[in-house]
Chains A and B, each alone.
Chain A
């Protein structure tokens, strides 16, 4: 390892950073003699970047050279940016040395496309194969499958990676083809299907032979860019919901569009990435995965976009007042989950604690229920006078989005920024 790796690392991390995923969960593997490391099963963030995002994996590209020209990507062929390529041994060394110092949980490897999808994929596979077989590395490996690569190579990658992913990026095919002329849905969904086949097949085999090899045990994930096209939240979430129907799809990530190529007028000129919308999409995604919501309850033809002012669960509750108030001491778990201000943890705590006696608002507060929100949607034995029924949804909404009056410090000069 020498100092010129420093420059390469800088270039290739800069190029890889727009991929949102950094999760390291889903695989448990303990260490054996003569091997390096383990996988914890739960995600461990080892640091947080200055943008507040988790750093769990060494997120890096093997090369940022690319023969494609996707409009939304910093690494597109037509951009004049510093380019670099790491050798297999440099990448392996970096991963292992970072890992041994507790900087990271493992590696998230991707690459620009050079020569052909298969040529690129083969080189990626070589890195992770080396890590596993030569260096006996047990840490987490997430590898991005190159769109358009062959089933054989996806199958090989699955032997060494914990998670494989293929990014959709653009939620509808027409826009995808306009923005990324070298890609279509086929090139994205085929590798997704190969991954799924690999995972399911290996599960089946492991049922018969306990030592049959595991295939991408942490499943697959994907990412969609938000705000680069005119697609609504309904389009995005319907696609997510369909993806979650597939048994191996673990996470869909949403990435607020950052105009890295502002000269390209196929894309909107945004001053700020749409961070609030991105956050609302993640909240809606949670409702799909953990709160037993159906996608059409969250967005539909009448409400194609998420409300930016209130979270999607509250928004649903305000549109469906007929389900409220909910009696905390009687309602079943599914209904408790639907109450704004009650999360999965507090719903579970309510169900266990009420066996010992009726719960009042003080206990709810202690359990972790956000009473500021929940109060309008519940009754327990002392509450229930001013619920959504008496107040009307509109008033509850106003009460909840009203910002506490800002205390202005008059000694301070107030500058209005305009641009």
Chain B
């Protein structure tokens, strides 16, 4: 069994593809530096991430698959799913070897699998866009804490920058502990310090909120209650569309 060891970055993965073609040997497994080697490991190769090599692979791929298929590879990478690296590796290998683009060959299990993962990530991106709730703070920053299952924050920025161009906002991934702050010019990645982190919560403390914020939260909650038709109450459908894991952050689901 051949194991490639790399740094778990996307560039590292592309470099691994480069190395494999260079060595004419293809890994059965990819692991991160420091991870325990699997049983039956006969040979290892350590990949040194290299900008020049990875971009050669990337440019090579550009000749083989469309721009949208390329971008969906980076999207799938953000899934952080176990084994996603090997799946991407195998897909890239197939794409390079095939005489014509493989991206629509859904009869191929790897192609179909990646299409499904892409779909899941895209769904999660949409859910964040749907369900994030801004709370206006005393310093006029609209703050939205989120907790997506995949690392999709970077994928929401384009939409949010357009939609909320005229207000300062901060969207923060509470699980991965990073976020983006938009100052009406650009969105920059930010991380809270330890002591600031204690102020963070799904619904911010009143002290931190703009004077009208609680009224608008109250108005929205009232609206949410009033708009449901009693004769059609359907808790199952409600939960199916509005997964419970989002409730914690939804203004309208607070008591």
Give me the interface of A with B, judged by CB distance under 8 Å: 1-3, 5-6, 9-10, 13-14, 16-18, 30-31, 33-38, 40, 44-55, 58-59, 94, 97-98, 100-103, 256, 258, 272-273, 275, 349, 352-357, 359, 363, 366-367
Rounded to whole angstroms, the CA-CA distance of A73 and B215 in the bound complex is 31
Q: What are 15 contact pairs spanning A and B, CB under 8 A?
A: A9-B223, A14-B226, A37-B166, A45-B241, A47-B224, A48-B241, A49-B228, A49-B238, A51-B229, A102-B164, A275-B232, A352-B104, A353-B104, A356-B107, A363-B107
Nearest 8 CB-CB pairs, A to B? A52-B237, A13-B226, A51-B232, A49-B228, A48-B241, A50-B228, A52-B234, A356-B105
Give 1 or 0 for each of B18-36: 1 = CB within 8 Å of chain A CB.
Answer: 0000000000000000000
Query: Within B234-255, which residues are at the interface with A (CB < 8 Å)?
Result: 234-238, 240-242, 250-252
Cβ-Cβ contact count across A and B, 8 Å cutoff: 155
The reply to whether B105 and A353 contact each other, CB–CB distance below 8 Å, is yes
The reply to whether B130 and A46 contact each other, CB–CB distance below 8 Å, is yes
Query: Within B117-145, which residues are at the interface with A (CB < 8 Å)?
Result: 126, 129-136, 142, 144
The reply to whether B131 and A47 contact each other, CB–CB distance below 8 Å, is yes
For B227, what are the chain A residues with a Cβ–Cβ distance below 8 Å?
Answer: 13, 16-17, 49, 55, 59
Give me the interface of B with A, judged by CB distance under 8 Å: 104-109, 112, 126, 129-136, 142, 144, 159, 162-167, 212, 215-216, 218-220, 222-229, 231-238, 240-242, 250-252
Task: Tell me the minimal C-beta distance from B160 to chain A in angstroms.
Answer: 9
For A35, what are the chain B residues with a Cβ–Cβ distance below 8 Å?
Answer: 165-166
Interface of B, secondary structure class, is: helix
The reply to whether B163 and A37 contact each other, CB–CB distance below 8 Å, is yes
* CB closest chain-B residue, reference A29: B162
The reply to whether B238 and A258 contact each other, CB–CB distance below 8 Å, is no
Task: Tell me the minimal C-beta distance from A9 to chain B in angstroms.
Answer: 6
Contact check: which of B109, B130, B142, B218 meets A44 at CB < 8 Å? B130
For B131, what are the chain A residues with a Cβ–Cβ distance below 8 Å?
Answer: 46-47
The reply to whether B104 and A51 contact each other, CB–CB distance below 8 Å, is no
Task: Tell me the minimal C-beta distance from B216 to chain A in angstroms.
Answer: 5
For B165, what are the chain A residues with a Cβ–Cβ distance below 8 Å?
Answer: 31, 33, 35
Rounded to whole angstroms, the CA-CA distance of A37 and B166 in the bound complex is 8
The reply to whether A273 and B164 contact each other, CB–CB distance below 8 Å, is no
The reply to whether B219 and A51 contact each other, CB–CB distance below 8 Å, is no
For A272, what are the chain B residues with a Cβ–Cβ distance below 8 Å?
Answer: 231
Task: Tell me the minimal C-beta distance from A100 to chain B in angstroms.
Answer: 6
The reply to whether B229 and A17 contact each other, CB–CB distance below 8 Å, is yes
Rounded to whole angstroms, the CA-CA distance of A102 and B144 in the bound complex is 10
For B215, what are the chain A residues with a Cβ–Cβ distance below 8 Å?
Answer: 1-3, 6
Contact check: which of B162, B238, B250 meets A50 at CB < 8 Å? B238
Contact check: which of B133, B163, B219, B241 meets A9 at CB < 8 Å? B219
Task: Tell me the minimal C-beta distance from A357 to chain B in angstroms.
Answer: 6
The reply to whether A366 and B112 contact each other, CB–CB distance below 8 Å, is yes
For B225, what are the chain A residues with a Cβ–Cβ distance below 8 Å?
Answer: 10, 50
The reply to whether A48 and B238 contact each other, CB–CB distance below 8 Å, is yes
